[in-house]
Chains A and B, each alone.
Chain A
């Protein structure tokens, strides 16, 4: 069954970009809530998360050509939406001071 029906791998294809979004979001939230956050750390995390999304987007775009199964579209659309959501969460990080005492 594992070879014929790779549930975990298929689920991960669609969920990987969403997990990147989740990791970025919860890391930023916890890091900011825990104390005086450094803008550099938040910046590097965001660049890493966006790069990962771009990578996954590129992979899904490449495998999507000529196909159109639900999982292919899922991997593609999830990457796009995660990219938008991460960019969106980055806006407050850019425009608001990470550390109020700074």
Chain B
């Protein structure tokens, strides 16, 4: 590697010389070829998965839009009986849920999965099978979830599912369970996407694309992916707790038994508010990419805009409770949240001013993307301003749960996300077949959508001010809301007409024959380089933040194979991994090929969760087993070392093939997964602390703390297990395989023992999770620890078998390193959980 770094330090004009050897391009094409027919389902190439992902997300956009139109028909006139109250409840819940969880988040991740490899100059992102799994899980899970509406089983408690309404007492049917299990597991798919994006953006950028030269869009997705890692665990924990309450009567949210419905609100909104920015920042990134192209000038304040993205990412985590101003927070807490809600406007404004300045400085090409971007600015700024209004606590008290909020959130989400996404769809569509959409139709689509949107949603500010509450299925003629509601309904249909026109034009355009793609917008970013299944023929050397503007001839050179890795060196799919800041080549990563395994694993996972909801337990278990087996087979295949240890990526420049330890992509992927896991645990711990703080006496009457002996013995066993794994990782992996197997089994025995001891302790203390929310939160942490012990048991057996098969040494040691990371993370939360249960009551009693 040192040699490689030295030799890349003095770069020739182009890294690979011509002519290229015969057969090189043919081999590259053959290895990356997308399978045809039904085997297309096995494709894991992010470009293919990205298109399927975008298409599915748009399908959900249309489906949820149809639900919205039904709602608007019901509200068009007073005292309407078009929908029954029960159906109305299901429709507005599904509209919100599908738009947020099945359209908004997936579509921004989908566009990233599609665009980023090209933009970063990677052949593919580092975990293509994970992307495929995430997509198929979302596809099957999402469609299955949506179908609940046809059986009358759709959730009906609002998209944020507040208990006690969604508890067993008030929602006894399966409807709420569909939400909790369906959405809970679709979030896992979003997290899988986030891991892919973080590692991809940090490590697969083209040589020379330093963090400073990285496209703003990639920055926005990096920030968003990190936000997903910290925000989504809160709602995963929340949905798990609510489902545990519904299934086993553990009263986390039942006030009569020490629970607290506000706990749900905290957990939900600690996800839900960052979520708004998780949806908006990718759109902001797209805007920052499109505006320089359509204005023909570099982005003004590019660095400041990049920093603003990071700052918004941070600040957005302090805004969760502004959804809870009427929930009885103290005035000072509300004041703090209110101040933070206003502070976030500053970094957001930095971006808006940057965009305006860029448009001002350049010469704007008034195509469809430009129109949608203007629409975005107008609508989003209005939504932002009403956002500052509702950040003012007394004002929020007046308009909370009225149509003013419905207007505000649609201005923010449709303005801040749907319009930029449509701009992006117009802008990037030529990447698929070289065909742009019709400009004449585009003006109609924009006109109908922009006018329809404002006609539909602007009046809602007024209906809200006049006192019309959200989520009512009808209203009386004497309320004075009839005219405004009719106007909103007309607007909604005008908007829908625009969307219909768009899709007709989309189908028309995609049916046209392929033609050369070129660079129709004269863009500066690298997704417009000549592109095939294998991405670019050679991986470009980047010297500028605007490579296609500042590096003349780059497209021709890249296509001729004059840049890095112009073929395949190992005979497999591969890409170059670079250092995270300076983007210097580190190693060549061999990428996994197409496979049925992610597809089967996703089908199994979706089947497990959905069938569990309708209590087809046997089939659900079989699906679960199918998922686990295919994931294990997939992992078994993944950690394989190719024959070569070093390959040539340019003239005389050698790079190692594959890497283990903290420099490897798989170590980072596992590490990020453990951060997610620890954040879920932190949310459960927060639930325990929150419930404890509400007690007058801790433990509450009837509950007891276990004997300290059990607790500390368990901690000792857990720590011992971690120490054994670390000892094995450092000294045994490469040489002493028999001992390695013995120590792994011993470590597993220790962790199982540690869990058994803590369970025995709690059993002797008479822990009864149904008696009191305090006991339930302890049981939830124990259950989570038990889940980890189950996973570690599978991992322990896996490591044992791999070592037996001689596949755990040298360049194959990654499996062991990553397993050790999971091991330590699991031990850490076991120790923290046990300590918290022992020490918090003592501290509170002191």
Contact = CB atoms under 8 A, between A and B. Distances in A.
Contact of A25 (B202, B310, B318, B332): B318
Interface in B597-616: none
B343 A33 contact: no
B212 A100 contact: no
A74 to B, nearest CB: 5
**Interface residues on chain A, size class:** 35 or more
A32 B337 CA distance: 12
Contact of B343 (A29, A37, A70, A85): A85
A74 B307 CA distance: 5
Closest 4 CB pairs of A and B: A92-B335, A70-B212, A5-B579, A85-B343
A37 B333 CA distance: 11
Given A5-B581, A73-B307, 5 more contacts: A1-B663, A22-B318, A81-B311, A81-B346, A100-B331
Interface in B498-553: none
B331 A96 contact: yes
B582 interface: yes
Interface of A: 1, 4-7, 10, 14-15, 18, 21-22, 25-26, 28-29, 32-34, 37, 68-71, 73-74, 77-78, 81, 84-85, 88-89, 91-93, 95-98, 100
14 contacts: A4-B582, A5-B584, A7-B580, A7-B581, A22-B318, A29-B318, A29-B336, A70-B211, A77-B308, A78-B307, A85-B346, A89-B343, A92-B338, A96-B335
Contacts of A15: 310, 314
B298 to A, nearest CB: 14
Contacts of A22: 314, 317-318
Question: Would you call the interface of chain B mostly helix, strand, loop, or mixed?
Answer: helix
A71 B336 contact: no
Contacts of B340: 25, 85, 88-89
A32 B333 contact: yes
A32 B336 contact: yes
Contacts of A4: 5, 579, 582, 584
B803 interface: no
Contacts of A96: 331-332, 335
B306 A70 contact: yes
B845 interface: no
Contacts of B385: none
A84 B310 CA distance: 16
A32 B447 CA distance: 50
B352 to A, nearest CB: 15
Interface in B292-308: 303-304, 306-308
Contacts of A5: 579-582, 584
A89 B314 CA distance: 15
Contacts of A28: 336
B315 interface: yes
Given A7-B581, A88-B342, A77 B311 contact: yes
A5 B317 CA distance: 29
Contacts of A92: 332, 335-336, 338-339
Contacts of A78: 307, 310-311
Contacts of B330: 32-33, 100
B346 A84 contact: yes
Contact of A74 (B5, B310, B314, B317): B310
Contact of A14 (B202, B307, B318, B343): B307
A62 B584 CA distance: 28
Contacts of B315: 21, 85
A10 B337 CA distance: 29
B147 interface: no
A6 B343 CA distance: 31
A98 B332 contact: yes
A84 B211 contact: no
B185 to A, nearest CB: 29
A28 B330 CA distance: 13
A36 B343 CA distance: 26
B723 interface: no
A35 B31 CA distance: 64
B586 A1 contact: yes
A14 B211 CA distance: 13
Contacts of A98: 332
Interface string B316-342: 011000000000011111011111101
Contacts of B332: 32, 37, 92-93, 96-98
Contacts of A85: 315, 339-340, 343, 346
B274 interface: no
Contact of B310 (A7, A18, A91): A18
Contacts of B308: 77
Contacts of B337: 29
A91 B303 contact: no
B567 interface: no
A77 B663 CA distance: 30
